[in-house]
Structure 1
Amino acid sequence: MRNRNTKRDGLYSGDKTRAEVKDLHSRILVAIRSAETISERIEKLRDEELQPQLIELLHGLMRNWQIMLESHETQNRIMFEVKSFNCPTYGKFCNDSHRLATLQLVAELHNWRSCFVAFLCSQKSYIEALSGWLAKFIAPEVELCSKKRSSAPTLRVNGPPLLATCHEWLASLEKLPKEAVSCALKSFGKDMRALWVQQGEEQKHKRKVDGLAKELERKVLAFQRTESRILGSKLSEKDIEVNVRNRIEYLAERKNMLDMLRKRIDAEKLKHITVMEQTQQITVKGFQTGFYSVFGSLVEFSKASIKMYADLVTYCETTKVPEKEDEDEPSYVEEMSSYLWG
């Protein structure tokens, strides 16, 4: 427009161009003022509603982990004091219901670990989403250049305090001892699966002993019937000496076989008792060590979480919202207007 006025391309054309530019400038100012009004409403919503609600959320999370800390400390103390189990079924032969319960415990431990990881991931995703939205309040530096002026006034807007809180929150989340909890749950799950395998071995030995006992019972009955038949049969005087000797040897051989089977059963029973004792030891040690490790790691995680939320509450409450620019200073609209028409 200024070039046209300088070159005197036509008074009417210059006036028309000036009028069009003024009209466009007026529309731009209206749009900017409208955007500023909407932005102020959003900022008010952010500072007067979102920030207090976020502080309330942090307080709630802190109280939640305080309750969790008390519970985990009690659970940890109980498992530390456990030396043996006094339930009615403890010390008896393992059955299918025991193995099913162990398998269900393995599944619950896996689900517990998955929920713990999902909780942390959800919290991280929430903070990242909130941080991304708050980052939109940071305006980039604006520079307008012309031949006469090296640059227009530069607009700098500081980020909202909540954005810094989110950054602190994300950084603090990474420092939580979450790996210790996850590893403890995973290790406990492996120990319980090993217990499930051990219970299977115990059942295998039990079935073997029961099978041999039934076999012995059948052979004893067969021996008794044979013995009764032989002793009750009549022999001629001519065959008495030879047959009696043969029958006695036959009965003695069958009896020796029964004695050998009894010894084998006793040996298998001893093996079964040994396996059963191993199962009981694994049960006590596995439960005590596993739960103690899990609850111990959760105690430390709870303490770290409480400290994290307390620090975030303090940080959030002490961080002030940036003060508005002095009314005596020209606004962005005034600066742009002065730049275009100055």
Structure 2
Amino acid sequence: MYGKLKRSAFGAANKDKAWNGNPEKEACVTSANLSSTLEKLYVWERKLYKEVKVEERLRVIYDKEWKKLKELDDRGAESSKIDATHDSIKKLLPKIKVSVSTVDAISRRIHKLRDEELQSQLNALIHRFMGMWKFMVECHQKQLKATLEARTHVQLAKASTERNSSIEATQRLEMEILNWAAGFSDWVNTQKAFVKFLNGCLMKCLLQEPEETPDGIAPFSPTRLGAPSIFITCNDWQRAIENVSETEVSKAMHDFASMLHQLHEKLDEERHQRLKVEYLSKLLEKRVKSLCRERGINLDSEGTTECGIVHADLDSMKNRLDEEKTRHEEAIKQVNDAASQGLRAGLIRVFKALDIFSLEMLKSYEQVRIPNGE
């Protein structure tokens, strides 16, 4: 049954139909048009399926009746039984003829939708993808050039409020890069999945028999089978884009996000160290004032000798503060170095990967065979 459905719906090429696509109409083709055409094909395929089922049931009944008639005739049954069976067969023939005619009519309708309307819309979509990837190549090359020419030097802000905003900004940027990576992968994989599904549906409708050659089994080729141009276009399309991997782009984006996460941790570490220094500074100041009050020393009026005596009692605390200040200065240096080098290096790698990927996609689309005049 399904073999008949395949032959009726998407089988051999309809050689009587010439391509007459109008390039001006391509500009008006939208995703809604394509969705509508696919929906119409789905509806007609369901109708065809039902009609093929009806035809098969009638043929099964016809075969049984014909076998019954032959058996009756062979054993010399009564003429009334033979005539009744013969009449039953005669009544089935018009029904089978109508069913076959309906299947053929629906098949021609599907062929027309597939070979003209769907082909035209897919051609327009492929042309738009080519234009998009060409624009993407130009865009990413400019981004890469600008990043390569940039001289990045990040200096951590002195104000604590600005530093806190840097932590938040770094965290937001990390999330945006991760969202970008996920969105990019979903976008590319959705395109590939759509083309794979579309080509898969078409390929199921071709009778494919492995062709043995001296070098082994020949690769599948709709052209060799004489299939309509839409089969060739979709098969080229799938093979072209499935060979372009987005792995490097995704890895570059995730590595950049990982670097931003590390930068965020360094910023958080610097903030923690800064708070520790501020705490020890206030604690030392409080302790100095307390000792001064105990000894009756006025820091504003007394000389350095008395102040030195006061600080001598707090050497341990002052040494600890100095150590924490040194650690804080090192933390600031690490943040500045990581931001200055990491941000630029990460962006360069991302834009370079995007540039290579877009260029490969553009070249792949240029290899897709589209009917002349499209």
Q: TM-score range by the shorter chain?
A: 0.7 to 0.9
- Written as runs of structure 1 = structure 2, the 5 A alignment for 1:1-342 is 1-85=69-153, 90-92=156-158, 95-135=163-203, 137-138=205-206, 159-228=227-296, 254-312=310-368, 315-317=369-371
Task: Summarize the Cα distance change of 1:319–1:129 in structure 2 as closer, same or farther, 3 Å threshold.
Answer: farther
Give the letter aligned to residue 285 of structure 1: Q
Moved more, 116-125 or 298-307: 116-125
Give 1:90 shift.
Answer: 4.4
| Cα RMSD for the two superposed structures | 3.0
Give the conservation status (yes or no) of the 8 Å contact 1:134–1:160. no
Give the conservation status (yes or no) of the 8 Å contact 2:288–2:310. no
Deviations 1:273-320 (A, max 9, x none): 2210110110111111111111110001100111122212xx132599
Q: Matches of 1:283 and 1:75 in 2, distance apart?
A: 19
**What's the secondary structure of 1:14's corresponding residue?**
helix
TM-score (norm 2): 0.68
Moved more, 59-68 or 295-304: 59-68
Give 1:98 shift.
Answer: 1.1
Q: Matches of 1:38 and 1:291 in 2, distance apart?
A: 55
Deviations 1:4-52 (A, max 9, x none): 3344323343333223213212211210111111110111011111001
Give 1:72 shift.
Answer: 1.0
Q: Matches of 2:256 and 2:159 in 1, distance apart?
A: 23
Deviations 1:63-82 (A, max 9, x none): 11111111111111122223
Q: Matches of 1:251 and 1:288 in 2, distance apart?
A: 49
Q: Matches of 1:13 and 1:229 in 2, distance apart?
A: 136
Q: Matches of 1:137 and 1:251 in 2, distance apart?
A: 96
Task: Summarize the Cα distance change of 1:309–1:252 in structure 2 as closer, same or farther, 3 Å threshold.
Answer: closer
Give 1:268 shift.
Answer: 2.5
Task: Summarize the Cα distance change of 1:218–1:165 in structure 2 as closer, same or farther, 3 Å threshold.
Answer: same
Task: Summarize the Cα distance change of 1:177–1:126 in structure 2 as closer, same or farther, 3 Å threshold.
Answer: closer
Give the conservation status (yes or no) of the 8 Å contact 1:134–1:163. yes
**What's the secondary structure of 2:152's corresponding residue?**
coil
Q: Which has the higher contact order (CA 8 A, sep 6+)?
A: 1
Deviations 1:203-242 (A, max 9, x none): 1111111112112222332343344369xxxxxxxxxxxx
Task: Summarize the Cα distance change of 1:140–1:4 in structure 2 as closer, same or farther, 3 Å threshold.
Answer: farther
Pairs aligned (count) = 284
Give the letter aligned to residue 354 of structure 2: L
TM-score (norm 1): 0.74
Q: Matches of 2:227 and 2:85 in 1, distance apart?
A: 40
Give the letter aligned to residue 158 of structure 2: K
Q: Matches of 1:48 and 1:131 in 2, distance apart?
A: 16
Give the letter aligned to residue 174 of structure 1: E
Match of 1:146 in 2: none
Q: Matches of 1:140 and 1:18 in 2, distance apart?
A: 40
Task: Summarize the Cα distance change of 1:268–1:101 in structure 2 as closer, same or farther, 3 Å threshold.
Answer: same
Q: Matches of 1:137 and 1:318 in 2, distance apart?
A: 24
Give the letter aligned to residue 358 of structure 2: S
Give the letter aligned to residue 49 of structure 1: E
Q: Matches of 1:211 and 1:67 in 2, distance apart?
A: 55
Structure number with bigger Rg: 1
Task: Summarize the Cα distance change of 1:299–1:225 in structure 2 as closer, same or farther, 3 Å threshold.
Answer: same
Give the conservation status (yes or no) of the 8 Å contact 1:191–1:286. yes
Q: Matches of 1:132 and 1:77 in 2, distance apart?
A: 40
**What's the secondary structure of 2:199's corresponding residue?**
helix
Deviations 1:96-138 (A, max 9, x none): 2111111111111111111112112222332233234324543
Deviations 1:225-265 (A, max 9, x none): 344369xxxxxxxxxxxxxxxxxx99876431345544443
Query: Gaps (5+ residues) in structure 2?
Result: 1-68, 210-224, 299-304
Moved more, 197-206 or 267-276: 267-276
Q: Matches of 1:34 and 1:140 in 2, distance apart?
A: 26
Give the letter aligned to residue 56 of structure 1: A
Give the conservation status (yes or no) of the 8 Å contact 1:205–1:268. yes
Q: Matches of 1:135 and 1:23 in 2, distance apart?
A: 38
Give the letter aligned to residue 71 of structure 1: C
Aligned residues with identical type, % of pairs: 29
Q: Matches of 1:159 and 1:82 in 2, distance apart?
A: 53
Q: Matches of 1:47 and 1:251 in 2, distance apart?
A: 96
Task: Summarize the Cα distance change of 1:317–1:90 in structure 2 as closer, same or farther, 3 Å threshold.
Answer: farther
